[in-house]
Chain A
Amino acid sequence: MNAHAPLPVPPAPARGLGLHLGRLGHGFGAKRVLDRIDLDIPAGQFVAIVGKSGCGKSTLLRLVAGLDTPTAGHIAFDGPRDDAAIRIMFQEPRLLPWERVLANVEVGLPASVKGEERHSRARAILAEVGLAERAGEWPAVLSGGQRQRVALARALASGPRLLAFDEPLGALDALTRIEMQGLVERIWQEQRFTALFVTHDVSEALALADRVILIDAGQTGGHVALDLAVDLPRPRRRGSAELAALEGRILDTLFSS
């Protein structure tokens, strides 16, 4: 099932960072987690990575984000990979509990932004995620969904060209989740960064992504089992027949292996 379907190129990849993974592999000691992953991700594309737990999808994300160094193969970027170009959003909000919401967003700004501009930029991005009036609160008083929105604002603050999402909505309740998906989609459409979105929820992947990549843990480590273009107009209607068909196809592949 390694059929590489022709991929739609997004309209204006103005700010995204494209990347190429060549025979990428990773292992911890004798255990191979990822094995010969070849992927070309054009700038500005929204790519969802799905797979069973333990298939190596989070490891792939950590390699791209530079949190771990691959043990085999290489990752190449289309442009300079400076400090603020790639940001990661974790499954947990990971906010500093001892700093106010605004200061937490400022963590995401590059050190070159100074003084009053730090506050104003952080405020603007906080307004973008709809939390402008909570700027002075402690993270402890926010709800789970609000904390994750602050984490999103922090990730967006530097205007990243590649944003890696490591199951960021996994811990939220179903309704908050749908709301957050809408927010992520809207901001991605505005900013056109390249998005790598790891999730275990196939319908979430289909609601958001241009392309769904299924990673399957084989004998020799995780590999790409399916690379599917999702060429459907946005915003996508949940439960539509096309989405259901695609979801069926992904689930079939997932459970046949």
Chain B
Amino acid sequence: MSLVDRSTRLNAASQGAEKTRPAGKGRLAALETSLAGWVLPILLVALWEYLARLGIIASNVLPAPSAIAEAGWAALKSGELVRNMGVSTLRAFAGLFVGGVIGLAFGIANGLSELSHRYTDTTLQMIRNVPHLALIPLVILWFGIEEEAKLFLVALGVFFPIYINTLHGVRTVDPQLIEMGRVYGMSPLTLFRRVVLPGALPSIFVGLRFALGIMWLTLIVAETIAASSGLGYMAMQAREFLLVDVVVLAILIYALLGKLADVLTRWLEGLCLQWHPAFQAKRD
């Protein structure tokens, strides 16, 4: 479908070169650009509904989208869905905050100080190579199934992408700019604030995007295995009562939350990286 989209867009572009395009068509094209990403999911859902109504997909395997929407509405009315979503989102962002701040701090420290890098990087790289989800049994022994367990796992998971990308960002700031800052009498603090940090920011955002993916993944696994609330717990409860529609609902909500976090990061990126030619081109 997207291939078809692209070819029509190419056609439109070549026609546009020949004759001037009316304003209304331009607005339509803008609308098309912003909605293009949703065409495929909507078509898939429509196809799914159709097949489920025909009975080709059994309802105990995969209920129809309308059935899931009903289940969602019921859960929404009872307040259970909102509560579980709130709990999960809070956990996710608390973990992201804790792990992110620590990762950022280590990344900056090791990027700036050779001494700090020498003493801590090897340790961090060793820990990185242990899959953090493998720690779940240990974490349950330590913290039980309380909030600390989830916070610990999410924080550990998001720490590494943020650490590595911050470190890379700080280390690859243009040395010519740093020299310029020194020659122009910037204090170490000013140099950091005006040259090093903004220079490392694009790389830090890459780390944040990776971290968001790991954040949801970790949380889902942790909530599915050991939790007494949250979306993962809701899905596991539903499985025990064979409520397939609620299970699918939980999965869909994860997809939506992931997309939401991505949109949020893009917005933040656009705000912080206005100066970047790549982002300027996107805005125009």
- Residues of A bordering B, CB below 8 Å: 65-67, 83-84, 87-88, 90, 92, 94, 96-99, 107-108, 110-111, 138-141, 154
Contacts and interface: CB of A to CB of B under 8 A. Distances in A.
Contacts of B195: 96
B179 A67 contact: yes
Contact of A108 (B184, B199, B273): B184
A94 B176 contact: yes
Contacts, number: 50
B162 to A, nearest CB: 20
A98 B198 contact: yes
Interface in B148-205: 176-177, 179-181, 183-187, 194-195, 198-199, 201
Contact of A96 (B177, B201, B273): B177
B176 A88 contact: no
- Is the contact region of chain B dominated by helix, strand, or loop, or is it mixed? helix
Given A88-B183, A138-B280, 12 more contacts: A65-B183, A83-B185, A84-B185, A94-B176, A96-B198, A98-B201, A98-B275, A99-B275, A107-B186, A138-B275, A140-B275, A154-B184
Residue of B184, B194, B201, B273 with most chain A CB atoms under a 10 A cut-off: B184
Contact of A140 (B179, B201, B280): B280
Contacts of B180: 90, 94, 107
Nearest to A82: B185
B274 A138 contact: yes
A187 to B, nearest CB: 18
Contacts of A94: 176-177, 179-180
Interface string B249-278: 000000000000000000000000111110
Contacts of B181: 107
Given A110-B185, A111-B185, A92 B176 contact: yes
Contacts of B194: 96, 99, 107
A110 B198 CA distance: 22
B187 to A, nearest CB: 8
Interface string B210-221: 000000000000
Contacts of B183: 65-67, 87-88
A88 B183 CA distance: 8
A117 to B, nearest CB: 17
Given A90-B176, A92-B176, A97 B276 contact: yes
Contacts of B198: 96, 98-99
Contacts of B280: 138, 140-141
Nearest to B181: A107
B242 to A, nearest CB: 55
Interface in B26-72: none
Across the A-B interface, give the 9 residue pairs with the lowest CB-CB distance, nearest first.
Answer: A98-B198, A94-B180, A98-B275, A83-B185, A140-B277, A138-B275, A97-B275, A94-B176, A107-B184
Contacts of B277: 140
A95 to B, nearest CB: 8
Nearest to B199: A98
30 contacts: A65-B183, A66-B183, A67-B183, A84-B185, A87-B183, A87-B184, A88-B183, A90-B180, A92-B176, A94-B177, A94-B179, A96-B177, A96-B195, A97-B275, A98-B199, A98-B273, A99-B194, A99-B198, A107-B181, A107-B184, A108-B184, A110-B185, A111-B185, A111-B187, A138-B275, A138-B280, A140-B275, A140-B276, A140-B277, A140-B280
Contacts of A140: 275-277, 280
A154 B176 CA distance: 15
A66 B185 CA distance: 12
Nearest to B182: A67
Nearest to B190: A111
Nearest to A86: B183
A97 B177 CA distance: 10
Nearest to A154: B184
Contacts of A154: 184
Residue of A67, A92, A96, A138 with most chain B CB atoms under a 10 A cut-off: A96
Contacts of A87: 183-184
B99 to A, nearest CB: 26
B105 to A, nearest CB: 22
Contacts of A138: 274-275, 280
Contacts of A98: 198-199, 201, 273, 275-276
B177 to A, nearest CB: 6
A103 to B, nearest CB: 9
A2 B157 CA distance: 69
A175 to B, nearest CB: 25
Nearest to B186: A107
A110 B186 CA distance: 9
B63 to A, nearest CB: 50
A138 B277 CA distance: 9
Nearest to B197: A98
A70 B267 CA distance: 50
A94 B183 CA distance: 12
